[in-house]
Chain A
Amino acid sequence: MATTPQLTATASGDVLELRPAGSWTAANVTTLEALSGTVAAQLDRSKALRLDMAGVRELDTLGAWLLEKMSRRATSAGRRAEIVGVADNYAGLIQEVHHVNRHNPAPVPALNPVVANLNEIGRAAVGAREDVAAFLEMLGSLFLALVGVLRRPRSLRLTSLVYQLYRVGWQAIPIMALITFLIGAIIAQQGFFHFRKFGADSYVVDMVGILVLRELGVLIVAIMVAGRSGSAYTAELGSMKMREEIDALSTMGLDPIEVLILPRIIALVVALPILSFIGSMAALYGGGLVAQLYGGMGPAIYIARLHDAVSVTSFEVGIIKAPFMALAIGIVACSEGLRVKGSAESLGKQTTTSVVKSIFLVIVLDGLFAIFFASIGM
């Protein structure tokens, strides 16, 4: 049924006669484009064009458009063009394509590359300011929602809070424990390997204890939570935004911050210290295991050394940071979620932004806390 398309051009006097034949359909587009390219030069030379369509077996929009383009090329230079031999069933299509593509919108002029770059930088700067504003705005509305809940405790979404706690807290325990356990073990192993060279084996315990309790336990857990739960928050809220669920909530007179975001952030603030504690314990256990298996230090000595090396202060320094990190992760995740626009791509983009930003903020916060604790002598 489909036949190879052909185009024969015969010049008789001033008139160029084109006879397309075969299937002028999308399936043969490569051939068709080549064919119409070959006659372009002849088309420009001739005084008039006669397009004889009698040989066309099959025609679709694409083929019709290519033929129309030839006749338009002739007429645009002020020459005569006529189309003859159009089969009845194709007349409508030929008519249709005759009207399309008549007024092309003026192409948008490309920006000067220097201007375009400056434009980008300017936008990024403004964007950074907007990020800070969005963070503060979310913090503010969260505070307001919290005040509202404190005044009317019954308006707290308890079910939602418990469910979120289950998701970001309880369900996260195995993976958090496993990862911090491995980190603790690795630190201890590295410690024994290097400290042994100058006979400082016993100080490995000090290093593991202080490092894990003050810094690593909470930092690793916070980063994991940002990747695990923060991204989930952004994706959930973002798809709710896309499907107008958040708008639906607002029109029912409910505050999305109070209904959706407050329980999520409270859950994070509660769960992260607990996870940090579990994580720190798992890391110390991992360190102890390596001390026995690799360092030849028995559990009793390990615990005794740990008792000397760390104080409650080390533990406090670590755990105090956890709720603040949780707040930062939660706010970034939720505000990025609410910034999702209509497309699937934007959902992906905001989720990435959310994770990157919250990990960055967690590390910045950790640095600020280090300065703070150093200056108050903890």
Chain B
Amino acid sequence: MMQQAAPEFAIRVKDLVVGFGRQVVIDHLSLDVRRGEILGLVGASGGGKTVLMRTIIGLIPRQSGEIEVMGAAIGRSEDRSTQRAAGRWGILFQQGALFSSLSVRQNIQFPLRENLTLSQTLMDEIAVAKLEMVGLKPEDGDKFPSELSGGMTKRVALARALALDPAIVFLDEPTSGLDPIAAGEFDALIKTLQETLGLTVFMVTHDLASMYTECDRVAALADGKIVAIGPMHELLQSEHPWVRAYFHGKRSQMLQPKAS
């Protein structure tokens, strides 16, 4: 959506090593995310998907390796200059991580209020606009996070992640805990927003349906490395044993279109 000067890759990860104590979770991992694509990251539960995402956004310190987001090197997440350089990102945490003492409207306005100087009227209008873009009603703005259902929480969290129109959004299992209809709607929503806003989406997911319908590319994380990356149909051809087990297991077979 931006112009020529912008780098080709939204996220570049080179030779990343992350571990806790003696346990190495991410082992010399390299990954490039192209601008404007939706990249799905799959991996075993506890295999380091969330760790990788949290390392990219600077919440977990790394042992070695380089991370670039929108052409800017990433330091620690609290470092505001890093964030600014990264062109601001939006993050959808697994549990939403909405501020429980603020209303939905205030939650969405929070990044606006903190980062920009603008009138309250405009802020209210933007909050309503974002709410409607994620498929909620303006009236929902007065609710508090504890009064929201799981699906609504995810939508509000997405609206907050999008408040500053970031170039990149990170989604941590956006459809987990949603019923298939709500999950399908959420997928469609992310796709629509990605198209209208020109977002780059980095999505940790277990939802095979999301991968088929939504992701431009899917990366498989196993043994701390990216073992396969590419569009869904390429991944299905992969020879790596874990990837085969993941996509050709019983549950996956049930979901696959007959053609594949």
Contact = CB atoms under 8 A, between A and B. Distances in A.
Nearest to B4: A1
B181 interface: no
Interface stretch (A93-101, A158-166, A202-210, A289-297): A93-101
B96 to A, nearest CB: 12
A60 B122 CA distance: 14
B6 interface: yes
B234 interface: no
Given A105-B138, A344-B101, A345-B100, 8 more contacts: A1-B5, A1-B6, A26-B164, A33-B122, A58-B3, A61-B162, A92-B196, A100-B133
A196 to B, nearest CB: 55
A62 B165 contact: yes
15 contacts: A29-B122, A30-B116, A58-B1, A61-B129, A61-B133, A89-B198, A92-B195, A92-B196, A93-B197, A96-B196, A100-B132, A103-B138, A105-B139, A342-B100, A342-B145
B155 interface: no
B132 A29 contact: no
Contact of A345 (B5, B101, B115, B196): B101
Count class of interface residues, chain B? 20 to 34
A30 B165 CA distance: 16
Contact of B116 (A29, A100, A343): A29
B239 interface: no
B8 interface: no
Nearest to B84: A27
Interface string B134-164: 0000110000111100000000000000101
Interface string B159-173: 000101100000000
B165 A96 contact: no
A104 interface: yes
Given A104-B138, A105-B139, A33 B119 contact: yes
Given A62-B126, A93-B196, A343-B145, A99 B132 contact: yes
A29 B101 contact: no
Interface in A29-49: 29-30, 33
A100 B129 CA distance: 5
Contacts of B129: 61, 65, 97, 100-101
A341 interface: yes
Contacts of B225: none
